[in-house]
Structure 1
Amino acid sequence: MKLTRILHLIIILFFPLFISAQEKASLLDLIPEIETKFDVKFSYSANEVKPVFVERLSDTETLSAIIDRFNTTTLLNFKFLTERYITISSIDKTISVCGTIVTEVNEPLFGASVVVFNTTNGAVSSENGQFSLNEVPVNAKIVISFIGFEAKEFNAVDLWSHKECKTVQLKEQSELLNQVLITKFLTTGLQKSIDGSTVLNTEKFGTLPGLIEPDILQTIQVLPGVESVNESIANINVRGGTNDQNLMLWDGIKMYHSGHFFGLISAYNPYLTEKVVVSKNGTSSEFSDGVSSTVDMKTKNEVNDSFSGGFGANLLHADAFLEVPIGDKLAFHFSGRRSFTDVFTSPTYENYFERSFQDSEIETNSESISESNRSSDFSFYDFTAKLLFDLNDNHQFRANLIGINNDLDYSEVNTNNSNETESKTSNLKQENLGFGGSWKASWSDRFTTQLSGYYSKYNVDATDLRVETNQLLTQSNEVLETGLKFKSDFRISKTLNLLSGYQFTEVGILNETTVENPDYERTKKDVLLNHAGFLEVEFNNGKTYVRAGVRGNYFQKFSKLIVEPRLNVRQKLSNSFALKLQGEFKNQSATQIIDFQDDFLGVENRRWILANEENIPISESKQGSFGIEYNRNNFVFDVEGFYKHVDGITVSNQGFYNNFQFLNAIGSYDVKGVEAMISKTAQQFSTWLSYTYSINDYEFKTLTPSVFPNNVDIRHSVTLGFNYNVLRNLELSVGGIWRSGQPFTKPVEGNETVQDGNNTFVNYDTPNSNNLDDFMRLDTSLNYSFKLTNKVNTSIRVGVINLLDRKNSINTYYEVDPEDSNRAVKIENKSLGLTPNVSLRCSF
């Protein structure tokens, strides 16, 4: 009796499985049945078909339904040659794949890259970590990657959507404690790291208002506390600092020049720049030399065995980039960009030209000269090259080259009172050339070292023939910097890391002015050597993150040691809330002075100088910040209070338009404020709102008054943006900027000028006691992407800067009226007007 019950139980449990097994049949056995029933013929290889099992035929199933079912549920490709003949093969078979990407603690990864190896077919994971791809070759490889995580490779059949969508778990890279915290910050390709720095992933970069390409230095201005008071990337102000207080690194090479069109376009081609890390505070002790911020640009660093690249053009320039594999261990990367503004002048170029040169000799000296009697040629180009060699899995060698150039030629013809023709020719050239190399060695899973060196050369040269005095004026500013760095990284445990190293830097700066008729020459050259050692401990257990370090800088010329402590702490209070504390001491020995109209045609009026510890001290900063962050379901609220003190600035370094303009004085500035950011991201849209309130004051003890508002004292600044995927391949972005007006100085009312001997000067009132009108700008962009062929992705972008054509004042100063020496004439510089641009890009 018991035996009978057991048999019944076995039958009940296994009968469904038995029935299911009976429903499956060998495809090889079913083919003759289909051929007989529908009077068709199959062409196939028995070896390919034999191992395939499918559901049995239904009496009501049509031939087309059977073939569709087989195409969907098998890895074979069934294709009608005619109505009667059908081929079966695995060649050209494509499938759909899907999956969900998560971290080691099963949190979904938003924005991970999913790519069919050696093709341009790819996708980005959704806010739930999900992805899907269609038309994937059955024998293809799928590569899933994300910054800060180890990439994984799968066979396409392993992710076949006919089966259950697979969960893919990515592991954090063991050498990176500074993990990605927010995977989609503001827009695709912008990420937030656990140390508070912002990472720009240019390859996955989304659309931002007004931009038609991922311009690196325009993009960082969407971050709170980062802006440009004159809308120029050559003058980026981070928490109230000046542009020369930002450390710009390109693959470890220090750059002294950052913009084309004298500041309106970033000089760094973004298409081989893999990521950009922007740090405002709490910087690693590995870096120094920028008392306001660090912008660390890194190019692609992997040796791939596939050839890829891209090209594009807009109304200002054309560019191309290539990734060329030379072997399994060797690759070459190249990018180049050149303007065609010297051949073709678009409306975009006209707006940029007017904005860049409105207050230069080109515009001010030519107001009385007809258009036909003056001409200008402006062009720019940049290029990068990188050689990558992997000796083996443990030793990597890299060599880098970057070149940036701006060239302006201007000529005018005038007829004097004697009816004689006079001509004037001027030239301005700006160049930055850098090259470097590195050797990274992994001696074990826990210990790595890197030895790197670089050379950077910056030149700005101007030639100005002045017809009225028959004088030839030439000016030159040259910076030569050589650097060598060794660092070691030792992983003490899974949560603890030790970084240490040594850096040597030699900086030489030349300033030269020569005049012919009468002959005059002034040359000044300075050289400074700096030895630095740094040590840093980094701890991260998932809840508590601490990075504490110190850097010692010894300046050989002055026998001076500057010690710089650094601290970066983040403590999670819950899964959503975290507190963060940051602090740093930093210094820099090279700064810029501003000579206004007398320098370089009035176009590029900044020249680099070196500290001498007499009238030009080494600038030193102290900064601290504290904030709270809320991050839940891709909604981020971040508020942070900060204080920064920078000592060792000079009057000539700040560029005053007031009674202090020609004085010598050393001072400091203090800025304190609050930054707040609200952001919400989803698969179809992202939106953000940032607000910065700050008070920024100078203190020059030898001047009267000694305390007054900073030139970049912007009390209120608001940035708003919205991105929306209208269709899968159509993205719209709209955003705006509003900020309070920049301070400026008016002349004394009723006593606008003052005479000193034979010279008359503007008699300025209390410095920076007035403000320009509020700055307001609305921008928009539209991006449409499509496949030109199976291997070529194409995009068309349209961008409009200042959509409402608002006439914003970005600078105001006064000059003595040439017709009435008792009056001062107001000079007002305006921002870009309504400026459209269009780009077409292809990548393969």
Structure 2
Amino acid sequence: MLNKKCLILFLLFINFAFGFQQQNKLSLLELFPVLEAKFEVKFSYSETDVKDVIVDAPQESETLNQIIDRLNAVTHLNFKILDARYIAVTTIDKKIAVCGLVISGADGLPLMGASVVVQNASKGTITNIEGGFRLDDVGINQQIVLSYLGYETIVLNAKDLREGDTACKTIVLKEQNETLNQVVISKFLTTGLQKRLDGSTILNTEKFGVLPGLTEPDVLQSIQALPGIESVNESIANINVRGGTNDQNLILWDGIKMYHSGHFFGLISAYNPYLTSKVEVTKNGTSSEFSDGVSSTINMFTKNEIAETISGGFGANLIHADAYLEVPISKKLGLHFSGRRSFTDVFSSPTYDNYFKRSFQDSELTTNSDNISESNRSSDFFFYDYSAKLLFDLNDNHKFRAHVISIHNNLDYNESYANNQGETESKTSNLKQDNLGFGGSWNAVWNDSFSTELTSFYSKYNVDAIDFRIETDQRLTQANEVLETGLKLKTLLKLNKSLNLLNGYQFSEIGILNGTTVSAPSYEKTKKDVLLNHALFSELEFNNNQTYFRLGLRGNYFQKFSKFILEPRLNVRQKLGNLFALKLQGEFKNQSATQIIDFQDDFLGVENRRWILANNGSIPISESKQGSFGVEFNHNNLMVDVEGFYKYVDGITASNQGFYNNFQYINASGSYTAKGVEFLINKTADRFSTWVSYTYSVNDYEFKNITPSVFPNNVDIRHSVSMAINYNVFEDFEVSTGGIWRTGQPYTKPLESNETVQDGNSVIVNYDTPNGENLDDFIRWDASVRYQFEITNDIEGTVRAGVINILNRKNSINRYYEVDPNDSDSAIMVNNTSLGLTPNISLRVKF
């Protein structure tokens, strides 16, 4: 009985103590009326900002100023006494220190190496051996993202992790709980190229044969052998698929969306091919799990199996050296790594000289002021890239992957000149391009019929320039930054041996910043936009060896605009006997991030493309509708493919087309329509492969708010022919030669007899009908050879040599006009040309 009374007294004491403690805590909504009555003041605030803020009750002896000082110190709000009567309460982004202890929800043990990142900021750390972390100078309103391989990612408010007198908060992470689309042509154009039932093309880089002019299995260069895919300005980074611009291609590397694709500002692919196992190229009829590229999808996959032994290779050509390595740490854990760096900053080869001349023609490096002699100019350019992949197989049914890729280009340009005092001064301009990506995936097979895949990625693209302009003693700083994070969950259900059902959800958050500062006159402009997209997708895939179809639907919801876009997808292939097949494809797609071309605020005249984000107004979301129908003949390794296509893309802007006409500075949105026919004939045998492809297309713009509203597209190439032959002279010696012929792209010439006009205080070129003329035909013939030899039983060597443009033809790839500085009534022509005769050679060792 005594124990029972003691227990009751103890509980009453606890309840009293707790109640007393609670009485000493007040919400600001409760506190404000008390203070207003006591001190005869009035608080001005937003209820949303203050409703969840709890503070200690004021002491009886505290003055109003003391209370305000304390509230400023302990809350994320700003209390400002406006006068004797009114006090304003506003939110501020205070900087605080955050800390925490990350443990596993499965066993309670600390998680070392967990990622701790401040959302939408380049700040982060990893947990130590005890699972702890600490970050300084974090905005109190920011969010902290915590993630660990095999565990669910969580997002916490920084203010909830604020470091104080009490111990750091303990954070518990919970554990995360193809088949029908087969290859129909295993040797397509050359070894390592395959064609699938859905019409997509697979490039197997490890088995890739020789293509004319190439000394490396360059991923983005190789796909230009396919009909309907070309580069009108010879740049790998500027791939035009069925009349689209380069920014309309969705480029994925192990699920990471990439915003930068070329070294040397477009002439060399930024993706090292020696750990890239395959590349999947889709022009139409795309799976519903993909969107965001209205012209094509280029999906790259690195090797995904843990090797049994250490293997790798290294090599060099006249531009760069590279190495790659596959290391099996254990039966369940493996590491893949590749790295590449140019040596152009220490050694200039003839290949480098040609690439430099081609890349930097018509830039500040070659067209600067005449008062600076050539001997007083110098430039250093280099690039590097690296990638790494960690592979962990928990068992045969659960596989985890983590990967990183980094791409970097750097250009320094130095000018020396004599100042007014006769002293020599020098100024260095700089241009950097970077694309850094992180990604992870978990593939789970739950039973024979059901599997899931969870993937996530983070991609960051930056181009930064510092340009010292000697003529005006002006310093120009420019920046373009893209940050994107993405998450995708998809499930695959095998209904029977002929039927699959794919379902999934995808989330992406993209932020884009553009900034420009000028020293004299002082000017600064920074613009940042963020867009969140939620998507659900589903598709049914069927194959019974005669009929293949894939029917899909994707719904996209753009949170900022409350905009919903529905995208149906269709892909059908029907065999007619053993020789013929009919193909029908169609798709709706959208794209929210595009590039604009800025002719005034360009980056040293070298890189003039900036990524921007749709605002659902002057910059709409681009939407495409595409359909194609074709017939395919395949017999005795002879394939003939004819396909007609129609493509309509709405929501393009004049600023992202790169106009050199009277519309280049006009804000207008419009559309383009591309329609045509692609023809391919390909014959393969054991020792040779040959092909000829021809594309006829008509591509026109329509901008309803400008006159004329309809005119030819900048990449309106009416006729394009590509041909090549590969031949194995011996088992280890292969040669390849081939060429390209296409009609010249459109350009606009000045109005005859009235070439310039006055525009305010400036004189500008007065252009005639837009894209009314065409450049001369583009003709190029290339050749390559490859010789393989055995160094030891386990080591193999390969020598490749190639020549681009054997005929040394001077092809025009762009033409525009400028006001003649010596005669303001006349315009002078600026003509950009392609690579001249450019040899290259590479030596590789594989073990």
TM-score computed with the length of structure 1 as normaliser: 0.79
Deviation at 1:305, TM superposition (A): 1.4
Question: CA–CA distance in 1 between the matches of 2:410 and 2:812?
Answer: 27
Which residue number corresponds to residue 211 of structure 1? Answer: 214
Deviation at 1:503, TM superposition (A): 0.2
2:822 to 796, 813, 819: 819
Which residue number corresponds to residue 546 of structure 1? Answer: 549
**SS of match in other structure, 1:322:** strand
Question: CA–CA distance in 2 between the matches of 1:311 and 1:304?
Answer: 18
Deviation at 1:430, TM superposition (A): 0.1
**SS of match in other structure, 2:351:** helix
Which residue number corresponds to residue 503 of structure 1? Answer: 506
Cα 1:766–1:418 change in 2 (3 A) is farther
Q: Given residue 450 of structure 2, which amino acid in structure 1 is its aligned partner?
A: F
Kept after mapping to 1: 8 A contact 2:253/2:299? yes
Taking the TM superposition and a 5 Å limit, the aligned residue runs for 1:413-812 are 413-415=416-418, 419-596=422-599, 598-812=601-815
2:230 matches 1:195: no
Deviation at 1:598, TM superposition (A): 2.8
Kept after mapping to 2: 8 A contact 1:679/1:686? yes
Q: Given residue 186 of structure 1, which amino acid in structure 2 is its aligned partner?
A: L
Taking the TM superposition and a 5 Å limit, the aligned residue runs for 1:15-30 are none
Q: Given residue 356 of structure 1, which amino acid in structure 2 is its aligned partner?
A: S
**SS of match in other structure, 1:224:** coil
**SS of match in other structure, 1:349:** helix
Question: CA–CA distance in 1 between the matches of 2:481 and 2:241?
Answer: 25
Unaligned 5+ runs, structure 2: 1-177
Which residue number corresponds to residue 325 of structure 1? Answer: 328
Which residue number corresponds to residue 272 of structure 1? Answer: 275
**SS of match in other structure, 1:473:** strand
Deviation at 1:564, TM superposition (A): 0.1
**SS of match in other structure, 1:779:** strand
Kept after mapping to 2: 8 A contact 1:778/1:804? yes
TM-score computed with the length of structure 2 as normaliser: 0.79
2:390 matches 1:387: yes
Question: CA–CA distance in 2 between the matches of 1:439 and 1:392?
Answer: 12
Deviation at 1:506, TM superposition (A): 0.1
Cα 1:367–1:786 change in 2 (3 A) is farther
Deviation at 1:757, TM superposition (A): 2.6
Q: Given residue 545 of structure 1, which amino acid in structure 2 is its aligned partner?
A: Y
Question: CA–CA distance in 1 between the matches of 2:832 and 2:471?
Answer: 26
Question: CA–CA distance in 2 between the matches of 1:726 and 1:370?
Answer: 51
Kept after mapping to 1: 8 A contact 2:204/2:277? yes
Which residue number corresponds to residue 232 of structure 1? Answer: 235
Kept after mapping to 2: 8 A contact 1:366/1:374? no
Q: Given residue 699 of structure 2, which amino acid in structure 1 is its aligned partner?
A: N
Taking the TM superposition and a 5 Å limit, the aligned residue runs for 1:149-188 are 175-188=178-191
Which residue number corresponds to residue 303 of structure 1? Answer: 306
Question: CA–CA distance in 2 between the matches of 1:418 and 1:303?
Answer: 67
Deviation at 1:368, TM superposition (A): 5.3
**SS of match in other structure, 1:234:** coil
Cα deviation, 1:425-456, whole Å, max 9, x if unaligned, reads 11000000000101100001111001111000
Deviation at 1:332, TM superposition (A): 0.2
Question: CA–CA distance in 1 between the matches of 2:461 and 2:526?
Answer: 17
Kept after mapping to 2: 8 A contact 1:257/1:432? yes
Cα 1:416–1:749 change in 2 (3 A) is farther
2:841 matches 1:838: yes
Question: CA–CA distance in 2 between the matches of 1:367 and 1:820?
Answer: 17
Deviation at 1:315, TM superposition (A): 0.2
Question: CA–CA distance in 2 between the matches of 1:281 and 1:502?
Answer: 22
Deviation at 1:497, TM superposition (A): 0.3
Cα 1:368–1:798 change in 2 (3 A) is farther
2:381 matches 1:378: yes
Question: CA–CA distance in 2 between the matches of 1:424 and 1:716?
Answer: 47
2:355 matches 1:356: no
Kept after mapping to 1: 8 A contact 2:721/2:741? yes
**SS of match in other structure, 1:283:** coil
Deviation at 1:414, TM superposition (A): 2.3
Deviation at 1:756, TM superposition (A): 1.9
Q: Given residue 787 of structure 1, which amino acid in structure 2 is its aligned partner?
A: E
Kept after mapping to 2: 8 A contact 1:360/1:597? no
Kept after mapping to 2: 8 A contact 1:637/1:678? yes
Kept after mapping to 1: 8 A contact 2:452/2:492? yes
Deviation at 1:366, TM superposition (A): 5.7
Unaligned 5+ runs, structure 1: 1-174
Question: CA–CA distance in 1 between the matches of 2:301 and 2:430?
Answer: 33
RMSD: 0.9
Q: Given residue 768 of structure 2, which amino acid in structure 1 is its aligned partner?
A: D
**SS of match in other structure, 1:492:** strand
Deviation at 1:681, TM superposition (A): 0.5
- Identical amino acids, percent of aligned pairs: 75
Cα deviation, 1:40-82, whole Å, max 9, x if unaligned, reads xxxxxxxxxxxxxxxxxxxxxxxxxxxxxxxxxxxxxxxxxxx
Q: Given residue 603 of structure 1, which amino acid in structure 2 is its aligned partner?
A: V
Q: Given residue 224 of structure 1, which amino acid in structure 2 is its aligned partner?
A: P
Question: CA–CA distance in 2 between the matches of 1:250 and 1:577?
Answer: 34
**SS of match in other structure, 1:220:** helix
**SS of match in other structure, 2:754:** coil
Cα deviation, 1:507-537, whole Å, max 9, x if unaligned, reads 0000000111332110000000000000000
Kept after mapping to 1: 8 A contact 2:369/2:471? no
Which residue number corresponds to residue 21 of structure 2? Answer: none
Cα deviation, 1:468-513, whole Å, max 9, x if unaligned, reads 2222110000000000000000100000000000000000000000
Question: CA–CA distance in 1 between the matches of 2:764 and 2:420?
Answer: 29
Runs of 4+ in 1 over 2 A off after TM superposition: 366-372, 414-424
Question: CA–CA distance in 2 between the matches of 1:193 and 1:271?
Answer: 23
Deviation at 1:461, TM superposition (A): 0.1
Q: Given residue 340 of structure 1, which amino acid in structure 2 is its aligned partner?
A: F
Kept after mapping to 1: 8 A contact 2:805/2:838? yes
Question: CA–CA distance in 2 between the matches of 1:370 and 1:802?
Answer: 31
2:282 matches 1:282: no
Question: CA–CA distance in 2 between the matches of 1:706 and 1:636?
Answer: 41
Cα 1:319–1:833 change in 2 (3 A) is same
Question: CA–CA distance in 2 between the matches of 1:689 and 1:369?
Answer: 49
Cα 1:820–1:657 change in 2 (3 A) is same
Question: CA–CA distance in 2 between the matches of 1:246 and 1:709?
Answer: 21
Question: CA–CA distance in 2 between the matches of 1:364 and 1:498?
Answer: 58
Deviation at 1:780, TM superposition (A): 0.3
Deviation at 1:203, TM superposition (A): 0.5
**SS of match in other structure, 2:354:** helix
Question: CA–CA distance in 2 between the matches of 1:730 and 1:367?
Answer: 51
Q: Given residue 517 of structure 1, which amino acid in structure 2 is its aligned partner?
A: A
**SS of match in other structure, 2:308:** coil
Question: CA–CA distance in 1 between the matches of 2:757 and 2:695?
Answer: 39
Question: CA–CA distance in 2 between the matches of 1:265 and 1:693?
Answer: 27
Taking the TM superposition and a 5 Å limit, the aligned residue runs for 1:38-117 are none
